[in-house]
Amino acid sequence: MDLSNATWRKASRSGENGGNCVELADVSGAVVAVRDSKDPDGPVLLLTRAALRTAVQSAADTH
């Protein structure tokens, strides 16, 4: 999938943790691309919005 024109965004509070965060880009109405902000040319995960929501909720529940 060509993501060269994707608009990547990260949390507005990401500067507080030294830049250790992920970036998200809308790929389609149902799919979101996720990448490491420190490695923008590295691997990208493609997740449905529902899967991303579940992953974020699971991470939040572990803290």
**pLDDT interval class at 15 (50, 70, 90):** low
What does the alpha-carbon distance between residue 10 and residue 30 come to, in Å, rounded to a whole number?
Answer: 19
pLDDT at residue 2 greater than cutoff 90 = no
Helices assigned H by DSSP within 3-63: 49-61
pTM of the model: 0.81
**pLDDT interval class at 8 (50, 70, 90):** very high
pLDDT at residue 6 greater than cutoff 70 = yes
Phi-psi group of 19: left, alpha or beta (phi > 0 → left; psi -120 to 50 → alpha; rest → beta): left
